[in-house]
């Protein structure tokens, strides 16, 4: 027997499927940790070129960037599972329509841009490993920092679309307060201007809240079988 969303009961017992909704929480935690590891304690890319060169000529500093990249992209792995669980929840509430499509596409684009942002940043900042005498190019380091920030912030547009669509779908949820749904919509709108940094925190809070709501609904639904 299968549920309305098409997931067989046998598959629902697979741990990764059962806990998929909490992937949003895992993503937020790993994103914060990955960013802190890669950028924490790093020299300001606007500092004197000699200072930047000394910092990135250190193998241990480059290893920090690489480790931060790995932690962050691992977070995206869990985000994708969360996105699948969120899409399933939206489908139950709003059917196979526009809201489900926007939720999926928005989340997928956000995940892709996050991967691109961290990969460009890590690739440029660790390229000294493959250069003559571990040469460091301060201008490229500065560019990598800016590209990382702008690319991930651009992903806020896609994340905002996902948040707005999913929040609108919850208007059909009988136990979801309407004010909470509209608050989610406002959060999604604010994510569009992630270039101003503060919306990054709004996205993080929304992801954690959505993860917990979807997971709770999943657990309650399992209890009915």
State pLDDT tens for residues 209-219.
999 999 988 76
- List all residues 6 or more positions away from 70 whose beta carbon is below 8 Å from its beta carbon: 34
Q: Which residue carries 């629902």 as its tokens? A: 12
Q: Which residue carries 């937020």 as its tokens? A: 28
- Per-position pLDDT tens, the chain of length 225: 344 445 555 555 666 677 899 999 999 999 999 999 999 988 988 889 999 999 998 889 999 999 999 999 999 999 999 999 999 999 999 988 999 999 999 999 999 999 999 999 999 999 887 777 778 888 999 999 999 999 999 999 999 999 999 999 999 877 888 999 999 999 999 999 999 999 999 999 999 999 999 998 876 665 444
Of the candidates 205, 204, 208, 217, the residue with the CA atom closest to the CA atom of residue 176: 217
Pairwise CA distance, residues 79 & 186, whole Å = 21
Q: How far is CA 152 from the centre of its chain?
A: 9
Give SS3 for 15.
Answer: helix
Q: Count of CB atoms within 10 A of residue 117's CB?
A: 21
What are the extents of the domains in the chain?
Answer: 9-223
- List all residues 6 or more positions away from 133 whose beta carbon is below 8 Å from its beta carbon: none
The upper half-sphere exposure of residue 26, i.e. CA atoms within 13 Å in the direction of its Cβ, equals 19
pLDDT single digits (tens) 115-127: 999 999 999 999 8
DSSP H helices, the chain, are: 9-12, 15-18, 23-39, 49-56, 59-94, 98-125, 138-169, 178-191, 198-223
Query: Looking at residue 15, what is its pLDDT?
Result: 63
Query: Looking at residue 216, what is its pLDDT?
Result: 86
Give SS3 for 127.
Answer: helix
């Amino acid at each position: 027997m299968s549920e309305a969303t098409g997931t067989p009961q046998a598959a629902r017992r697979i741990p990764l499927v059962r806990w998929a909704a909490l992937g949003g929480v895992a993503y937020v935690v790993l994103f914060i940790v990955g960013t802190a590891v890669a950028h924490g304690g790093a020299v300001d890319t606007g500092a004197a070129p000699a200072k930047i060169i000394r910092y990135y000529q250190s193998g241990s500093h480059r290893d920090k960037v690489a480790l931060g990249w790995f932690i962050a992209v691992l977070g995206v792995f869990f985000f994708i599972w969360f996105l699948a669980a969120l899409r399933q929840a939206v489908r139950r509430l709003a059917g196979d329509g526009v809201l489900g499509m926007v939720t999926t596409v928005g989340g997928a684009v956000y995940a892709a841009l996050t991967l691109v942002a961290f990969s460009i940043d890590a690739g440029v900042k660790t390229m000294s490993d493959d250069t003559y005498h571990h040469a460091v190019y301060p201008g490229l380091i500065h560019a990598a920092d800016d590209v990382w920030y702008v690319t991930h912030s651009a992903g806020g547009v896609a994340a905002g679309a996902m948040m707005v669509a999913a929040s609108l779908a919850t208007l059909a949820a009988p136990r979801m307060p309407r004010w909470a749904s509209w608050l989610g919509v406002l959060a999604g709108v604010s994510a569009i201007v992630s270039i101003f940094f503060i919306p990054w925190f709004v996205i993080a809070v929304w992801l954690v809240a959505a993860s917990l709501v979807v997971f709770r609904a999943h657990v309650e639904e399992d209890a009915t079988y």
